[in-house]
């Protein structure tokens, strides 16, 4: 770690400690972020913990958000007194004689704007709303006639699409150049399906067509929404079975290490780009269903949202396991069209 990294880490820890102290003393804390040549912003920490009210983020019409503190603090005080600001609501006289509008912030944007709040809560399991200010004609940024010169100052963190979110240039560029989408923007409920941990017969069925690859002692730890399996072995190590590609590999020496590595390898392990596209498309899953590849990657298919169909998880693991086994048994030079699978 460089000196600069150490300094940044120390500053981050100091900011987190100040937030914790203020939340313990007052119930909430405000973080100010000043940005060079981009809109500064403020956000609360503690409203959710202390009052079960969403945290609030507010952007400034300049790179210095200090002047907006006098607008956000009274709102936080009203929350502490029991008032609730609902998403998609408009409240009068938030900004002097002007109203303020509230919209829900998508967790996708937390890592880029709300890092200290994520550190405080240990993840993204807390709601946030964005407070918007209008122009001098009382129009909000999404309304016709809003002042063009003010438009760049308030990102639309209620949008899922980068192109629609009106992001600051530096954030837009960072996302465009990123090799992966941070896993922490999604909860465990988004990444895994619920399976009965006490149902050993069900777990055995999931692996029935994969024992040739994973061995007799592997046990199911979690099942992803794409039907991939994380397995544990008697030595405590965690293995990843990519059922779409037929790849099985050790990924961690313990469950704890696996949880930490999931943040780094999220794009690969959870097919995050396809998952976010599926969320935008509104294609959900019924109980014990997974997103199954119509044309599996092991047969040349692409891991995209357009290539999936919700399928029963046992059917998915059975078909994918038998397909992978058949591919392994193909003689050199054989075509994948030579694969023959018996009906399930």
pLDDT tens figures, 98-153? 999 999 998 888 888 998 998 898 877 889 999 999 999 999 999 999 999 999 99
Query: What integer pLDDT is reported at residue 62 of this predicted model?
Result: 92
Least-confidence region, from 56-70, 152-166, 188-202, 241-255: 188-202
Segments in the chain forming alpha helices (H): 3-26, 47-51, 69-80, 110-113, 115-121, 169-177, 188-191, 200-207, 211-214, 255-264, 266-269, 272-281, 313-329
Give tens-digit pLDDT for 284-340.
Answer: 899 889 999 999 998 888 888 899 999 999 999 999 999 998 887 665 554 444 444
Query: What integer pLDDT is reported at residue 75 of this predicted model?
Result: 97
Query: What's the CA gap between 133 and 80, in Å, rounded?
Result: 22
Angle between helices 200-207 and 313-329 (to 10 degrees): 30
Secondary structure element (H or E) that encloses residue 187, with its range = none
Q: What is the pLDDT averaged over residues 217-223?
A: 92
Query: What integer pLDDT is reported at residue 200 of this predicted model?
Result: 52
Band of pLDDT at residue 258, cut at 50, 70 and 90: confident
Determine the distance from the C-alpha atom of residue 225 to the mean position of all C-alpha atoms in its chain, rounded to a whole number: 14
Q: Is 68 exposed, middle or buried (0-12, 13-18, 19+ CB in 10 A)?
A: buried
Band of pLDDT at residue 341, cut at 50, 70 and 90: very low
DSSP state for residue 28 in the 8-state scheme: -
Query: What's the CA gap between 59 and 31, in Å, rounded?
Result: 12
Contacts 24+ apart (CB under 8 A), 332-341: 336/299, 336/300
Q: What is the pLDDT averaged over residues 179-183?
A: 52
* Residue 4 pLDDT exceeds 60: no
């Amino acid at each position: 770690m460089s000196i600069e990294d150490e300094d940044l880490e120390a500053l981050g820890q100091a900011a987190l400690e100040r937030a914790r102290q203020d939340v313990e003393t007052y119930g909430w804390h405000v973080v100010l972020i000043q940005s060079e040549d981009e809109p500064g912003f403020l956000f609360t920490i503690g409203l959710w913990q202390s009052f079960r009210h969403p945290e609030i983020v507010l952007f400034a019409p300049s790179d210095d958000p200090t002047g907006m503190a006098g607008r956000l603090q009274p709102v936080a005080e009203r929350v502490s007194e029991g008032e609730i600001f609902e998403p998609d609501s408009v409240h009068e006289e938030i900004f002097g004689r002007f109203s303020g509008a509230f919209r829900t912030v998508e967790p996708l944007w937390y890592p880029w704007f709300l890092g200290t709040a994520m550190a405080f809560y240990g993840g993204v399991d807390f709601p946030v709303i964005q407070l918007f200010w209008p122009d001098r004609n009382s129009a909000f940024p999404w309304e016709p006639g809003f002042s063009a010169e003010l438009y760049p100052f308030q990102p639309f963190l209620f949008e899922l699409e980068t192109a629609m979110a009106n992001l600051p240039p530096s954030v837009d560029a960072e996302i465009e150049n990123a090799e992966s989408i941070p896993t922490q923007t999604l909860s465990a409920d988004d990444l895994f399906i619920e399976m009965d941990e006490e149902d050993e017969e069900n777990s055995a069925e999931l692996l029935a067509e994969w024992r040739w690859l994973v061995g007799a002692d592997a046990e199911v730890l979690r099942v992803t929404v794409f039907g991939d399996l994380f397995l544990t072995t008697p030595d405590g190590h965690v293995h990843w079975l990519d059922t779409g590609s037929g790849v099985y590999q050790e990924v961690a020496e313990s469950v704890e290490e696996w949880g930490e590595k999931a943040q780094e390898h999220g794009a690969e392990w959870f097919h995050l780009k396809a998952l976010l596209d599926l969320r935008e498309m509104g294609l959900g899953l019924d109980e014990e269903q997974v997103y199954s590849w119509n044309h599996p990657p092991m047969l040349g298919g692409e891991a995209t949202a357009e290539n999936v169909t919700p399928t029963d998880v046992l059917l998915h693991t059975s078909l994918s396991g038998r397909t992978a086994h058949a591919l392994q048994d193909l003689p050199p030079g054989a075509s994948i069209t030579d694969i023959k699978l018996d009906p399930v």
